[in-house]
Amino acid sequence: MDASMHTLGMGLNAAYTAFKINGHMLGMTNVTGAKHERVNLADVAYQTQQTAGAPTGPETVLPTPLQYGQGVKVTSTTTDFSQGQLVDTGNMMDIAITGKGWFQIMKDGEIHYTRDGSFKKSADGQIVTADGYPLEPAIVIPEGGSEMTIRENGSVTVKVPGQDEPVDLERIQLAVFNNEEGLVKVGSNLRGIGPTTGEARVLNPGEEGAGNIQQGSLEGSNVKIVPLLIDTVMLTRNTQMMSQGISRADQMWGYVNSIGG
């Protein structure tokens, strides 16, 4: 394959990957606690045809190198973990985090993490996610319990028949990480520990930098629609130009071969 076609092909592949990521982000605009992601691209290794300083004569050298690129690639995504707008739902099972931290969720015997606080009550009274995964530490609402109150510091109380005073349940705790970027997305609005995440610090809300809890609210997505739409238009145009470039390169390669033949 001609080198120019290979270079353009790499550009097309990178653009397609970025297009898929941006499309996924557009679909996440209404997902509770979703975070915006920016696609990062970088050039790959360069081919050096002439190096700077190479002699061009008895007393002259090249002042600059002659290099040409061999394409670009998607290297990573950068996540914007800034606070999403709080949405008042009035549902006492909905919980939002204001500030840093993640809810801890038990899934398949391992702790996972989420910013999605749209919790439900299971058949046995346990607080679980929409997919049925329990909150950790486990909080179980006693039979007949009502008027659950969750304070900013994560303390949970509920009124129980036959008792005058509300009963204290387990306290909601938040996990905080040194490198949130290292969390691995696993679906169902959950993330898992990655090799670069660092150990989770499990804290009471409002302590040592952890955020607070707000009952009756959910954290909206912070996905930025306008930049995504602009990027999508630019990617579409770039893809069209690179496709045309591959067609032209193929014609030129055929022409060169015919001359050489």
Read off the pLDDT of residues 88-103 as tens digits, 9 standing for 90 and up: 999 999 999 999 999 9
Q: Which residues contact 206 (CB under 8 A, 6 or more apart)?
A: 152, 153, 154, 212
Q: What is the pLDDT of residue 127?
A: 96
Tell me how far apart the 2 most distant CA atoms of the chain are, in Å.
Answer: 103
Structure pTM?
A: 0.83
Rounded to an integer, what distance in angstroms lies between the CA atom of residue 138 and that of residue 229?
A: 41
Q: Which residue in this structure is represented by tokens 């238009």?
A: 233
Q: Could you tell me the two tokens for 84?
A: 């999403």
Q: What is the pLDDT of residue 72?
A: 86
Instruction: Write out residues in the chain with pLDDT < 70, as ranges.
Output: 1-2, 249-250, 252-257, 260-261
Helix axes 3-27, 225-260, angle to 10 degrees: 160
3-state secondary structure of 102: strand
C-beta separation of 167 from 155 below 8 A: no
C-beta separation of 173 from 146 below 8 A: no
Rounded to an integer, what distance in angstroms lies between the CA atom of residue 36 and that of residue 28?
A: 9
Q: What is the pLDDT of residue 248?
A: 72
How far from the centroid of its chain's Cα atoms is residue 258's Cα? 50
CA distances from 188 to 147, 160, 162, 219 (A): 28, 32, 39, 16
